[in-house]
Amino acid sequence: MNPLNFAATVIILSASGALAPGPLFFVTVSHGIKSGTKSGILFSIAHSLVEFSLVMLLALGLLSVANVPSVRLAVGVAGGAALIVFGAMQIRGSFSYKPEETKTGQSATRNLFLLGLALTGLNPYFIVWWLTVGANLIFISLEFAGLAGVVFMFVCHVWVDYAWLILVSGFAKRSSKILQFKWYRILMAVFGLVLIYFGISFLIDSLSF
């Protein structure tokens, strides 16, 4: 995979993952109602610090086994299967999710950075994504540029998080019912199909490696 195709793959997968409602998304909406884009920026910084640390730890661990076929196969199959499951869950969620009223209070602007760290580091979906899908992306990065490739991959990924969380927080300032918008549900379902497509591609590539 050449760098441009890889960057496009990372951006599409990142957008698909970022779109799925999770703890950080809901808190960004909730705090964005009162704080606007400030909350999105702080949550993005906290999220990226935790994420970069995890990515580099995984990269350093995988670097020594990058050329072991059995490890590459296991990571590829796990990543592909995870994408298919995440995609199916996202499609289902786009039709069945019932949004609750978001709440604001005195703590709406307190400790946003620490809250972002906690909601990122303690989010099971986030950890599983990087141990499966993300690990496969790290392997591909290592293959064509070593650790520099991993940094390139992370840059392609992280700007999507910043753009989405800042957009959501700014949008929440104007409307707290973002999850009720029809376009959002349709977009989430479309990205769910995209995740399934990439999951199948990952499985095929891994089994033919």
The series of mean pLDDT values per 10 residues for the chain, 209 residues long, is 86 80 77 83 93 92 76 79 81 66 45 85 80 88 89 94 90 66 73 82 78
User: Does residue 52 lie within any of the structural domains?
Assistant: yes
pLDDT at 46: 92
Q: Name the residue type at position 65.
A: V
Residue 20, domain extent: 3-96+109-207
Residue 194, pLDDT score: 81
Q: Which amino acid makes up residue 17?
A: G
What does pTM read for this prediction? 0.75
Q: In this structure, is residue 101 part of a structural domain?
A: no
Residue 80 identity: G
Residue 103 falls inside a structural domain: no
pLDDT of residue 109: 46
Given a contact cutoff of 8 angstroms between Cβ atoms, the answer to whether 105 and 34 are in contact is no
Q: How many domains does the chain have?
A: 1
Domain-located, residue 102: no
Nearest residue to 191 via CA among 5, 6, 21: 21
Does residue 121 fall inside a structural domain? yes
In a domain, 142, yes or no: yes
